[in-house]
Structure 1
Amino acid sequence: MNAPAIARGSGVRKWWALGGVMLAVLAVGLDATVLSVALPTLAVKLHASESDLQWFSSGYLLVLAALMLPAGLLGDRFGRKRVMLGALLLFGLASAGCAISQTSGEFLAARVLLGFAGAPLIVMAMSALAVLFTPEERPKAVGIWAAVNFVSFPIGPILGGYILSHAWWGWVFLMNVPVALLGLVAVLALVPETKSAEKPGLDPAGVVLSTAGLVGLTYGLIQAGQDGWGSLSAVLPMVIGVALLLAFLRWEVLVTRRPGGQPLVDVALFRSRSFTWGVLLLAVCGVVMVGVIFTLPQYFQGITGVDPMGSGVRLLPLIGGLILGAVPSARFIRWIGIKLVMSLGFVILGLTALWAATTTLGTGEGVTAAWMAVGGLGLGLVFAPAASAALAQIDAERSGVASGVLQAINKVGGPLGAAVFGSALSSVYQGHLPIAGLPGAAVATMKEGLSQGLAVARQLGSPALIHGVQTAFVQGMDAAFLVSAGICGIGLVLTLVFMPLRTPALASASPTGAADSPAVPRLADAAAARTAL
């Protein structure tokens, strides 16, 4: 079966192909969530310092940021299936490398390799949605993609917590290997090979500027979450990163105007309101989602007293709500249009954030589970439609780079969300700590975070101090949710003002669903020329 058959046929095979791609997405998601559970164990087993632990996560994020656009270019130029297969193989090897590491340096090197594999997997998975599915089918496919992304949030801590409690720690990372291998087999058997009919240019200057800019901005946001927004280590790289990205956009415009110019990114994409605001509102949603994921595990483990596995279980209502909103969102879009669906999502999400901001130490688990489920529904109603709006404007010809743009902007939302919510939580937490009469060293330790504050209180044997630390954290968490409500309000206004009522297709849809235009080759015709299964 070749690509034209997939495009023109009953549609069953391409949904199986989506399943293969989603295994790759699941592998990346599991790795990201498992690491947070494993950090305390890694500190002991690898004799890792606090700085080492930070770089285990930061090094991976920086490589992801650096490679999003180059990964898309490689897929468009050399074949998206080929790039995905190589990335899956490297991902499995790097996961095994994490498991057998004996030192912090070895583990960090394996994490960097995971970043080299993760970036093309993330970008090619999004690109596959544009290549395999018509604009009419994409909202449903995006709902499934979003659900798989969300499922990794609780599965990682649940499996990771169980493994760390009952087996060798290395299995936490080795469990990614069979997932990656299954994904490799499924992609090899089911996903068609596609690449641009006209090989895109390399645009070395564009690659360097975009890579350096994304790395600088991401590093600055990571440092802002650790050292504060006013620190030179945060401000300087953010300023440099933004300046380089502006230079990159200017360069792409100049290359586009040249006769025969081949820019890395087609700047014409940003003339589409659906693409531009779909991407930006997806990033807004990502900021809110990362903030929630950043806050809740600390609350469950430090306030309710559960272990990492129990924390993962308690995230299930949130994930259930996300899936309930994301998967059927395509139907809602057909009924009332994408603007109203996303607006409803932001309203639900904002009201839920205000509800969450009323949390106290006496709040029961049932109430927490209820607002998590409702908030998840709101997230799903924004996340999947925003991605669908952006994908509606991506044609198969340059789907790799366009997907790279979408994912690069979306991934910046991760460290931005952690920095914004971390700053709000930390400032209120530190301001409400009961530190009167305590030694200066103890106060400094307590201000580092909830776990450190509880450790000091327990070392001093003071139940009142434990209660005070927990109360301060919950007050900080409430402040973070108020910030979340404000961000949702901004997202609602932007949606109402800028998003079109309904997302236009690429052009008048052909029977295969791609644009029937000289500038955008139809999917079946392009696939017929470049498919080799």
Structure 2
Amino acid sequence: MSIPSGAPVAAPRVPEAVHRRRWAILTVLMFSLLIVVLDNSILNVAVKTIAGPAPTGIGATQSELEWAINSYTLVFAGLLFTAGLLGDRIGRKKVLLGGILVFGLGSALAAFSGTPGELIAWRAVMGLGAAFVMPATLAVLMNVFEPDEQPKAIGIWAGSVGLAIAIGPITGGLLLDHFWWGSIFLVNVPVVAIALVAMVVLVPDSKDPAPGRIDPVGVLLSVVGLVLLVYGIIRGGELADFTDVTVLAPAVGGLLVLVVFVLHQKRSSHPSIDISTFRDPAFSAAVAAIALVFFALMGVTFFSAFYLQSVRGYSALQSGLLILPLAVAQMVFSPRARLVVDRFGARAVCTTGMLLVAAGLAAFAVFDAGTPVWVMCVVFFVQGTGMAHIMPPVTVAVMQALPRERAGSGSAINNTFRQVGGALGIAVLGSVLSTVYRGDIEGHLDGVPAAAKDVAGESIEATLGVAAQLGEAGRPLAAAANDAFVGAMHVTALGSAAVALIGALVVGLFLPGRAGAQDGPRKKEEREPAPAAGAGSRG
């Protein structure tokens, strides 16, 4: 396309050498992101094996297994914001290399854990590394792609998250079929080694050229606030009771600390984040959409695993394969979401995506023990299609609302809201599932020995375990457990769908339409320095 004579030409801000290898850099970033996201879903598959006695497992209790998962989430969510800030200040490549190295070291140590306590500790180390990897990948992406290509790159980046969620259970199932439980962690080590070499060779460093003084008080407040809040959420999910003092104290305390953090940022001469950015309705709607969609989706992912394995009797590998349609939909549609946004606008696309997610979640309310496999595959595909038309546009909205120099902060905000929303979804919707299940199964425990009654009513896994011990007499109890779980799943699915509908309302009211989407880049350019006179475009 020819450029009219006299028309102003925007100067490229990405060096030519970096621009030429931008797609190779994106591949390395996706590779790094893949192992961080994949590892959490792999662990979910292995919990039964790890709970077994040595040498099959390490004899972890239910509480210890939960903390093997939660220690990672707690450290990860608590440090995301700080990791983004450090990347902006000391360099995103340095942070990315350090994070992936710590993640690899934690993986190797976790693989050879001799006790549940060791596994919990090394999972926390993995969470520390992952907290520095995830925001850095998105921040580097924003600094190697020009604004016109960022939506496409973010779409591919978002698609890799969907791929990781789906192949995690499949990879875990294959490894557990052939190797010991520690292989699910040890497999990360060679992948990390390859990623480190590729990063050193391909990924350029970047940072905020004028970051100002670091704000230690703000950093400390953000870490303490997020850790307390996420701990309270996790504790509430464990107890299935959000009124317990051990839940309320950290959760409310965390919220209060975060309020103090916001007030401090408003008054600070060198704030960690510009709070005024949240006054932009489109920006606030985008981060709210991220939190709401992951609240709904992580909740349904939690109960669908039990539905597929406990009620339907599928193996971990088969359950993982059933989620493939969700990953396929995300991989196909995420990179193309920008084209739909260009035509219809972010508001229409994201609202439709939220409605598709809500429909997919609501479909679980009619599933039973005999629902055909092809119906489940269609539902997962619909959910993946909805996600693919939500995450790329809202991520673009968040990242392009901030200057490129502060891409680490933008990525940290994006990922922090995603993690907190997901943790809250698992805790709240998991509590709803547990409460409804316990209420339904209680009436069927009369024939269970008194010593086993409390255990049998805890979860479907516990009930089925007691039923198996009773032999032939336990068959009615197993049937009742399946019915009670399906009923509880229906209630939880409707709750998940309601949250997704709230998300649809938020994006429908506040995200820009076609005109707003077109105006957005102009507003962004107004915040950035004008290119030097005489600068030209790439040939």
Question: In structure 1, the residue corresponding to 2:206 is in which secondary structure?
Answer: coil
- CA drift at 1:504: 5.5
Comparing 149-158 with 333-342, which one deviates more in the overlay?
149-158
2:522 partner amino acid:
S
Matches of 1:126 and 1:92, distance apart in 2? 20
Instruction: Return closer, same or farther for 1:413/1:522 CA change in 2, 3 Å cut-off.
Output: farther
Instruction: Return closer, same or farther for 1:134/1:426 CA change in 2, 3 Å cut-off.
Output: same
- Alignment match, 1:448: 458
Number of matched pairs = 512
Asked if 1 retains the 8 angstrom alpha-carbon contact of 2:433 and 2:491, the reply is yes
Asked if 1 retains the 8 angstrom alpha-carbon contact of 2:140 and 2:206, the reply is no
Asked if 2 retains the 8 angstrom alpha-carbon contact of 1:23 and 1:180, the reply is no
- CA drift at 1:10: 9.8
Which of the numbers 43, 52, 66 marks the counterpart of 1:35?
A: 43
| Two-structure CA RMSD over aligned residues (Å) | 2.2
Asked if 1 retains the 8 angstrom alpha-carbon contact of 2:295 and 2:424, the reply is yes
Comparing 102-111 with 24-33, which one deviates more in the overlay?
102-111
Instruction: Return closer, same or farther for 1:263/1:413 CA change in 2, 3 Å cut-off.
Output: same
Matches of 1:157 and 1:200, distance apart in 2? 44
- CA drift at 1:238: 0.8
- CA drift at 1:380: 1.8
Identity of aligned residues (%): 35
Comparing 82-91 with 436-445, which one deviates more in the overlay?
436-445
1:435 partner amino acid:
L
TM-score in terms of structure 2 length: 0.90
- Say whether residues 1:459 and 2:472 are aligned partners: no
- CA drift at 1:12: 4.8
Asked if 1 retains the 8 angstrom alpha-carbon contact of 2:13 and 2:146, the reply is no
Matches of 1:474 and 1:523, distance apart in 2? 60
Asked if 2 retains the 8 angstrom alpha-carbon contact of 1:72 and 1:124, the reply is yes
Matches of 2:530 and 2:161, distance apart in 1? 29
Matches of 1:382 and 1:223, distance apart in 2? 30
Residues 312-348 of structure 1 show CA distances to partners (whole Å, capped at 9, x for unaligned) of 1111122223333322111110010000001111122
- Alignment match, 1:529: none
Q: Which runs of 5+ in 1 are unaligned?
A: 256-260, 510-514, 526-533
Which of the numbers 121, 141, 146 marks the counterpart of 1:134?
A: 146
Instruction: Return closer, same or farther for 1:8/1:270 CA change in 2, 3 Å cut-off.
Output: farther
- CA drift at 1:66: 2.1
Alignment of 1:413-424 (within 5 A): 413-424=421-432
- CA drift at 1:516: 4.7
1:206 partner amino acid:
G
Alignment of 1:235-314 (within 5 A): 235-255=248-268, 261-314=269-322
Matches of 2:210 and 2:125, distance apart in 1? 30
Which of the numbers 351, 359, 365 marks the counterpart of 1:343?
A: 351
Matches of 2:456 and 2:373, distance apart in 1? 26
Instruction: Return closer, same or farther for 1:367/1:98 CA change in 2, 3 Å cut-off.
Output: same
- CA drift at 1:307: 1.6
Instruction: Return closer, same or farther for 1:52/1:356 CA change in 2, 3 Å cut-off.
Output: closer
Alignment of 1:57-72 (within 5 A): 57-72=69-84
Which of the numbers 328, 333, 342 marks the counterpart of 1:334?
A: 342
Asked if 1 retains the 8 angstrom alpha-carbon contact of 2:82 and 2:222, the reply is no
Instruction: Return closer, same or farther for 1:52/1:437 CA change in 2, 3 Å cut-off.
Output: closer
Which of the numbers 20, 26, 41 marks the counterpart of 2:28?
A: 20
- Alignment match, 2:393: 385
- Say whether residues 1:95 and 2:103 are aligned partners: no
Q: Which runs of 5+ in 2 are unaligned?
A: 1-11, 534-539
Instruction: Return closer, same or farther for 1:251/1:437 CA change in 2, 3 Å cut-off.
Output: same
Comparing 438-447 with 272-281, which one deviates more in the overlay?
438-447
Comparing 288-297 with 217-226, which one deviates more in the overlay?
288-297
Asked if 2 retains the 8 angstrom alpha-carbon contact of 1:389 and 1:503, the reply is no
- Say whether residues 1:187 and 2:199 are aligned partners: yes
- Alignment match, 1:512: none
1:453 partner amino acid:
T
Which of the numbers 130, 133, 148 marks the counterpart of 1:121?
A: 133
TM-score in terms of structure 1 length: 0.91
Matches of 1:94 and 1:337, distance apart in 2? 43
Instruction: Return closer, same or farther for 1:524/1:375 CA change in 2, 3 Å cut-off.
Output: farther
Matches of 2:250 and 2:295, distance apart in 1? 20
- Alignment match, 1:488: 500
Question: In structure 2, the residue corresponding to 1:157 is in which secondary structure?
Answer: helix
Matches of 1:320 and 1:141, distance apart in 2? 17
- CA drift at 1:148: 0.9
